[in-house]
């Protein structure tokens, strides 16, 4: 993979109002530069777009949220490997779901991630798109999708299985949210030939504590592309991946049965209305 230079020292330095202050703040992190595109970096961007929170000025810090300590340690390893920065795990006190946060207090890192395309603030009323450096590279995009679907997708294991993903946006930001989801749809098709449903905006609405009304934007992986999705995208959660494996088994079974029926149809081609379950074909095998 040809790694593209995304940020130089000067790019982050230019985000500071005071150049001397910026040089001093960045001096400890000169080893980051140049920051180049990579699948690992694409995964971090997806994590923060899904279950993360990037705080803008004046705090300039980041949090990644999960109810799994193992997941937080995985994220810690990603940040540590690329940026040599380590944060802390703490309990989340703003909800009753037993979630935890992995927090990193590093202003230069937050400035860099913001330039790389990570949105700041509450994402439900923030307009953002998938960065071009992720879209243009198949492996960067694959990693982005793996992490985004690991965090945000739903899977229904049934006779007619379903793989779906949704994003909640405020009513004022629905159109920009649709653009983001259409990017996902377009490049799933472009890179992996994975076909998806049309976008669906459900009538259900949610009123936040601050009074903002949000709605979900959703699409599903079409039935004839679910096997391709399961082959190309491996979720990094054991339970969720097991569900994908079961969906793949169901789709393979359906495909196999259709193939057997087609073979029998060809074998008994003298019968225009061939039905392998008809009594007159009982006992006949290929």
HSE-up of residue 68 (Cα within 13 Å, Cβ side): 12
Q: What per-residue confidence (pLDDT) applies to 286?
A: 47
**What pLDDT is recorded for position 210?**
81
CA distances from 131 to 76, 105, 137, 142 (A): 23, 24, 11, 13
Q: Which domains does the chain have, with CATH numbers?
A: 5-267 (3.10.28.10)
Read off the tokens for 46.
């997806």
Contacts of 127 (CB under 8 A, 6+ apart): 173, 176
Question: pLDDT tens across 47-72, in order?
Answer: 999 999 999 999 999 999 999 999 99
Residue 103, burial from CB neighbour count under 10 angstroms (0-12, 13-18, 19+): middle
Q: Which parts of the chain register pLDDT below 70?
A: 1, 95-96, 270-286
Q: Is 118 left (phi over 0), alpha (psi -120 to 50) or beta?
A: beta
3-state secondary structure of 201: strand
Whole-structure pTM value: 0.90
Burial of 160 (0-12, 13-18, 19+ CB in 10 A): exposed
pLDDT at 270: 57
- Would you say 225 and 194 are in contact if contact means Cβ atoms under 8 Å apart? yes
Which single residue is written with the structure tokens 């450096």? 133
3-state secondary structure of 104: strand
Question: Does residue 60 contact residue 111 with C-beta atoms inside 8 Å?
Answer: yes
Pairing of strands 100-104, 153-156: unpaired
């Amino acid at each position: 993979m040809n790694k593209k230079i995304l940020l130089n020292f000067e790019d982050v330095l230019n985000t500071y109002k005071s150049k001397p202050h910026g040089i001093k703040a960045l001096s400890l992190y000169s080893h980051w530069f140049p920051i180049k595109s990579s699948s690992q970096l694409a995964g971090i961007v997806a994590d923060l777009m899904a279950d993360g929170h990037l705080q803008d000025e004046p705090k300039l810090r980041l949090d990644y949220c999960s109810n799994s300590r193992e997941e937080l340690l995985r994220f810690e390893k990603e940040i540590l490997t690329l940026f040599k920065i380590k944060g802390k795990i703490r309990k989340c006190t703003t909800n009753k779901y037993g979630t935890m946060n992995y927090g990193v207090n590093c202003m230069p890192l937050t400035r860099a991630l913001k330039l790389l395309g990570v949105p700041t603030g509450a994402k439900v009323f923030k307009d953002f798109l998938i960065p071009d450096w992720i879209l243009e590279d198949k492996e960067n995009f694959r990693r982005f999708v793996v992490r985004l679907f690991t965090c945000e997708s739903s899977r229904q294991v049934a006779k007619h299985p379903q793989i779906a993903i949704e994003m909640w946006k405020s009513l004022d930001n629905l159109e920009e949210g649709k653009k983001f989801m259409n990017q996902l749809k377009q490049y799933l098709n472009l890179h992996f030939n994975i076909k998806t449903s049309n976008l669906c905006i459900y009538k259900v609405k949610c009123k936040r504590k601050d009074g903002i009304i949000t709605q979900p934007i959703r699409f599903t992986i079409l039935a004839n592309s679910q096997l391709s999705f399961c082959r190309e995208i491996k979720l990094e959660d054991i339970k969720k991946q097991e569900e994908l494996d079961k969906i793949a088994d169901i789709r393979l079974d359906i495909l196999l049965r259709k193939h057997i029926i087609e073979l029998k149809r060809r074998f008994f081609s003298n019968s225009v209305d061939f039905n392998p379950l008809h009594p007159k074909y009982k006992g006949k095998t290929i």
